[in-house]
């Protein structure tokens, strides 16, 4: 594998932390190596011909419990990428304190180029090819990039069918459902907003530690999908001033003179749903009008003079090319790896507080655990109970990482790695 690979970079980062804190290198090397990588061909009939797409499932580590992690459908899916993502999942589940290990999977395909029928066939075929390694007590997939509850529902249906045929019919139906999370059928109430909710819980805890008043903090959110939208809405409800949001086409701000006007996030969302983009959705204080509104690029959003920056879209958006332009004093990583290692080092040296993804966006996998538990125990949890429990899990995870960072006089990313590695190696 070439050294520029994303898995190798993550591996080197963790080995460096291990050396610094005298963690036995042989134990760390053993942990870093995935337990198993399944590589498959997923054939789908496209018109008159059958095309095979490459598929993967990386089962990284199950010291703490069954492998857990999403499935993505994207042309850029590679073995290297799923290995790295499964490693991060091992760390994430340990940081948030749930009894799961790390896994990740995907198919190298552009799902937008497939019809719904072809997409369903692709989803079901993936389960047929990986059936033997999946199970509520073995490996529990979930939605990820370009996959959703509908795709997961097809997969669950296929898994249950195969189980009935293969003699797993004696396994209770509720446990077969528990093999996948992020479902619409037998899913979890509150799962949709869990990642954003968890991130806002972390932000509130950080503000409390730093004695910051939410209403005096301006926030820019890059990414207005599921995670970014719920983060913006819930942070706004908690009193933070959301002054800029963006999606893949660009972003919006609203000003009165030089002052930012906080956006009305639910109205912005409704406007975007109606128009198909954020352009012109300058909504504030219950009204949408163009006065003081302007479109900005995603790059301009990252450079805004705000207090808090939330990259909730893609990886590596804050990097060597733009790190000098970042003015925010706090960054909450809601996407996976949105700050490159070089930029992380540079900004941390400058005193910027960065809450790493393995803590900040772990509300999603914490929600998945609650869904899994609900299925395994054949129960149905109420949304308010789910969110209350999720809040406590995120507060405890933040407290552990914060204490570790103070104890070792280090940043929150290194502290997160230490919390996770110590749990996994010493379980």
What domains appear along the chain, each with residue ranges and CATH number?
A: 35-177 (3.40.50.10860), 194-360 (3.40.50.720)
Best CA proximity match to 235, nearest among 204, 264, 213: 204
Cβ contact 365:357 at 8 Å: no
Q: How far apart are CA 22 and CA 25, in angstroms?
A: 8
Angle at 199 (CA atoms; ends 341, 426), nearest 5 degrees = 65
What is the residue-wise DSSP string for 243-288?
EEEEETTEEEEEEETTEE----HHHHHHHHHHHSSSTT--EETTEE
Residue reference for tokens 């004695």: 211
The secondary structure element, H or E, covering residue 308 is strand 308-311
Which residues make Cβ contacts (< 8 Å) with residue 248, sequence separation at least 6?
A: 298, 313
Of residues 361, 362, 352, the one with CA closest to residue 411: 352
In this prediction, residue 315 carries a pLDDT of 87
Confidence of residue 375 (pLDDT cuts 50, 70, 90): very high
249 pLDDT more than 80: yes
Q: What is the mean pLDDT of residues 11-26?
A: 95
* pLDDT tens readout for residues 78-135: 999 999 999 999 999 999 999 999 999 999 999 999 999 999 999 999 999 999 999 9
Active site (annotated) includes residue 409? no
For residues 244 and 248, give the distance between their C-alpha atoms in angstroms, rounded to a whole number.
Answer: 14
The residue written with tokens 């959110």 in the block is 221
Q: What is the per-residue pLDDT for 9?
A: 87
Q: Which DSSP category does 413 fall into?
A: H
CA quadruple 140, 145, 146, 148: dihedral sign:
positive
Phi-psi map region of 146: left, alpha, beta (phi>0 left; psi -120 to 50 alpha): left
Tell me the β-bridge partners of 68. Answer: 140
Q: Which pLDDT score, from 0 to 100, does residue 236 have?
A: 98
pLDDT of residue 168: 59
Q: Tell me the average pLDDT across 341-362.
A: 97
What pTM, to 2 d.p., does this model score? 0.94
Say how many residues make up the chain.
427
pLDDT tens for residues 290-309? 999 999 999 999 999 999 99
Residue tagged active-site, from 68, 104, 175, 272: 104
DSSP codes of every residue in 119-161? HHHHHHHHHHHHGGG-BTTTEEEEE-TT--HHHHHHHHHHHHH
Asked whether the predicted pLDDT for residue 43 surpasses 70, the reply is yes
Whole-number pLDDT of residue 4: 56
317: nearest Cα among 329, 296, 292, 300: 300
1 has pLDDT over 60 = no
Number of alpha carbons in the 13 Å side-chain half-sphere of residue 128: 11
Cα–Cα distance for residue pair 337/385, rounded to 1 Å = 30
Q: What digits encode the pLDDT tens for the residues 157-199?
A: 999 999 999 875 688 999 999 999 999 999 999 999 999 999 9
């Amino acid at each position: 594998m070439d050294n520029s690979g994303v898995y190798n970079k993550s591996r080197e980062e963790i080995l460096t932390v291990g050396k610094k804190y005298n963690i036995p290198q042989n134990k760390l090397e053993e942990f870093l190596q995935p337990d198993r990588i399944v590589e498959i061909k997923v054939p789908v009939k496209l018109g008159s011909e059958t095309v095979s797409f490459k598929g993967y499932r990386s089962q990284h580590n199950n010291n703490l419990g069954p492998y857990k992690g999403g499935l993505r459908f994207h042309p850029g899916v590679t073995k290297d990428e799923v290995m790295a993502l499964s490693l991060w999942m091992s760390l994430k589940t340990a940081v948030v304190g749930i009894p799961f290990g790390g896994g990740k999977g995907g198919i190298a395909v552009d799902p937008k180029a497939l019809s719904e029928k072809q997409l369903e066939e692709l989803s079901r075929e993936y389960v047929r090819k990986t059936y033997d390694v999946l199970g509520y007590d073995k490996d529990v997939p979930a939605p990820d990039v370009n996959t959703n509850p509908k795709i997961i529902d097809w997969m669950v249906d296929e898994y249950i069918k195969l189980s009935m045929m293969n003699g797993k019919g004696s396994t209770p139906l509720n446990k077969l459902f528990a093999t996948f999370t992020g479902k619409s059928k037998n899913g979890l109430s509150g799962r949709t907003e869990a990642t954003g909710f968890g991130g806002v819980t972390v932000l509130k805890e950080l503000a409390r530690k730093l004695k910051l008043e939410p209403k005096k903090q301006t926030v820019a959110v890059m990414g207005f999908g599921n995670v970014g939208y719920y983060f913006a809405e819930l942070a706004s409800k908690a009193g933070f001033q959301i002054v800029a949001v963006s999606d893949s086409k660009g972003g919006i701000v609203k000003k009165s003179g030089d002052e930012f006007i906080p956006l009305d996030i639910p109205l912005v969302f409704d406007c975007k749903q109606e128009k198909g983009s954020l352009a012109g959705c300058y909504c504030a204080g219950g009204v949408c009008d163009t006065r003081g509104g302007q479109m900005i690029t995603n790059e301009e959003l990252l450079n805004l003079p705000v207090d808090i920056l939330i990259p909730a879209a893609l990886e590596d958006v804050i990097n060597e090319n733009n790190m000098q332009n970042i003015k925010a004093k706090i960054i909450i990583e809601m996407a996976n790896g949105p700050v490159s290692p070089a930029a992380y080092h540079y900004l941390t040296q400058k005193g910027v507080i960065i809450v790493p993804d393995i803590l900040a966006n772990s509300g999603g996998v914490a929600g998945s655990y609650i869904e899994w538990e609900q299925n395994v125990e054949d129960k149905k949890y109420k949304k308010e109970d789910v969110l209350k429990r999720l809040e406590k899990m995120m507060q405890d995870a933040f407290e552990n990482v914060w204490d570790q960072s103070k104890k070792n006089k280090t940043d929150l990313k290194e502290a997160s790695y230490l919390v996770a590695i110590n749990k996994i190696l010493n379980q």
